[in-house]
C-alpha cells in the first residue's frame, strides 16, 4: 500500500439514480476493490469502481447488465461507461479513511486497519457483548455492506445457540466467522464453490483468531455433508431452489436462506412446501429476503 507510484484504474458508470445500488453491486461483482457514488444532475449518478488491474470494459459492462437484470432494471438504465487512470494516493488513502465499520445487531464489521475494538467498541449502553469481525474489503462477496449478508447476520444472532453451524457459499467467511466468535466451542464448517473464496475466507478467519475453529472446504452441500444445528445459505434464488433437498437434509435445527429477491420468494416457498417444509419466518431489507425454516 506504500507504493504510491502504482496506478489504479477507475470505471465511471453513469446510470439512472434508482439503479445506483445495482451498479455498485455489479462493479463489486466485476472485481472492483471499492466504489464511490456521486450525483450527476437530479436523475443520474456516477458510480466509480476502483480496480487494481486494468479492467476489461466489455466484461465489466456485461456484469453490470447482469446486475441490472437481477435488480429488474432495463439495460438502458446504464447510460455510459468510461475508464480513467488514477494515482493510488488519490483514492486508496481517502477510501480507507472513509470506510466506516458496519453495525449489524451485536456485530461490527470492520476492515483490518480500523481501530474499533471489542468491548464498548461503540457506546451503545446496551448490555450485549459486541463482536468485531475484521474483513479485508474487495476480495470476495461478504463485507457486511450487502443487505443479504446483514439479514443472515441478524438471523444468526437470533437463532444460533451453539452446537454446529454450516455456511454454504461462505464468500469472505463472514457468517462462519460470526458464528465462531459467538460460540468458541461450536463446530463450524464453511464451503464455497469458488476455491479462491475459500482461501480468502481462511485468511479472514485467521485474522479474526478463529482459523482453527472453522473447517473450510471448496465445494457445496451434498449427501456427504455433515448435518448442523444451523445451516446458512446466502446464495441466489435459483441456486437455493436447486440445492433445497440437500440443504433441508443437512439442517437439524434452523435453515437460513438468503440471496433471494422478493420476486423469487414465491418459487422458493412453493419448493419448500413441495419438500414438506412448512413453518417459516421471513425478514426483508429492500428487495432482499431472508427465509428461516
- Tell me which stretch binds ligand SAH (CB under 6 A): 23-31, 78-86, 162-170, 265-273: 162-170
Element spanning 270, H or E: helix 265-274
Size of the site for ligand SAH (CB under 6 A): 22
Applying CB under 6 A, among 19, 63, 104, 197 the residue interacting with ligand SAH is: 197
**Beta bridge partner(s), residue 256:** 232, 292
Tell me how many helices (H) and strands (E) the chain has: 8, 14
- CB neighbour class for 135 (10 Å; exposed up to 12, middle 13-18, buried from 19): buried
Applying CB under 6 A, among 35, 164, 170, 204 the residue interacting with ligand SAH is: 170
Per-residue binder mask for ligand SAH (CB under 6 A), 235-254, x = binder? x---x---x-----------
> CA 74, CA 19: separation in Å to the nearest integer?
9
Q: Which C-beta is closer to ligand SAH: that of 20 or that of 139?
A: 139
Per-residue binder mask for ligand SAH (CB under 6 A), 48-77, x = binder? ------------------------------
Which grid cell is 69? 437484470
> CA 86, CA 102: separation in Å to the nearest integer?
27
20-29 and 57-70 helices cross at what angle (nearest 10)? 130
Confirm or reject binding of residue 149 to ligand SAH (CB under 6 A): yes
Confirm or reject binding of residue 141 to ligand SAH (CB under 6 A): yes
> CA 34, CA 13: separation in Å to the nearest integer?
13
- Tell me which stretch binds ligand SAH (CB under 6 A): 128-136, 165-173, 247-255, 262-270: 165-173
Strand ranges in 54-186 using DSSP code E only, listed in sequence order: 78-87, 102-104, 107-110, 131-134, 164-168
Q: Which C-beta is closer to ligand SAH: that of 68 or that of 152?
A: 152
Confirm or reject binding of residue 192 to ligand SAH (CB under 6 A): yes
Applying CB under 6 A, among 142, 213, 225, 264 the residue interacting with ligand SAH is: 142
* CB contact set of 128 (below 8 Å; sequence gap of 6+): 106
Applying CB under 6 A, among 81, 86, 193, 282 the residue interacting with ligand SAH is: 193
Interface with ligand SAH by CB under 6 A: which residues?
Answer: 140-142, 148-149, 152, 168-171, 174-175, 191-194, 197, 220, 234-235, 239, 243
Amino acid at each position: 500500500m506504500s507504493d504510491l507510484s502504482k496506478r489504479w484504474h477507475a470505471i465511471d458508470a453513469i446510470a439512472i439514480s434508482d439503479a445506483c445500488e445495482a451498479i455498485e453491486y455489479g462493479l463489486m461483482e466485476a472485481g472492483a476493490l471499492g466504489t464511490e457514488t456521486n450525483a450527476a444532475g437530479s436523475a443520474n449518478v456516477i458510480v466509480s469502481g476502483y480496480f487494481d488491474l486494468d479492467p476489461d470494459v466489455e466484461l465489466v459492462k456485461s456484469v453490470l447488465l447482469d446486475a441490472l437484470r437481477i435488480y429488474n432494471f432495463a439495460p438502458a438504465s446504464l447510460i455510459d461507461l468510461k475508464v480513467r487512470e488514477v494515482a493510488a494516493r488519490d483514492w486508496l488513502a481517502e477510501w480507507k479513511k472513509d470506510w466506516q465499520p458496519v453495525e449489524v445487531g451485536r456485530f461490527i464489521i470492520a476492515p483490518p486497519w480500523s481501530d474499533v475494538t471489542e468491548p464498548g467498541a461503540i457506546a451503545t449502553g446496551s448490555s450485549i457483548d459486541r463482536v468485531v469481525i475484521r474483513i479485508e474489503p474487495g476480495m470476495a462477496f461478504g463485507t457486511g455492506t450487502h443487505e443479504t449478508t446483514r439479514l443472515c447476520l441478524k438471523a444468526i444472532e437470533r437463532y444460533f445457540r451453539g452446537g454446529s453451524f454450516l455456511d454454504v457459499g461462505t464468500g469472505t467467511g463472514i457468517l462462519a466467522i460470526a458464528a465462531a466468535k459467538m460460540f468458541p466451542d461450536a463446530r463450524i464448517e464453511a464451503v464455497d464453490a469458488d476455491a479462491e473464496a475459500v482461501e480468502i475466507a481462511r485468511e479472514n478467519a485467521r485474522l479474526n483468531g478463529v482459523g482453527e475453529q472453522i473447517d473450510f472446504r471448496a465445494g457445496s452441500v451434498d449427501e456427504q455433508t455433515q448435518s448442523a444445528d444451523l445451516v446458512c445459505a446466502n446464495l441466489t434464488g435459483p441456486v437455493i431452489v436447486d440445492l433445497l433437498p440437500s440443504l433441508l437434509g443437512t439442517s437439524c435445527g434452523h435453515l437460513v436462506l438468503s440471496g433471494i429477491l422478493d420476486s423469487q420468494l414465491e418459487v422458493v416457498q412453493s419448493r419448500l412446501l413441495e419438500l414438506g417444509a412448512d413453518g417459516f419466518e421471513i425478514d426483508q431489507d429492500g428487495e432482499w429476503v431472508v427465509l428461516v425454516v
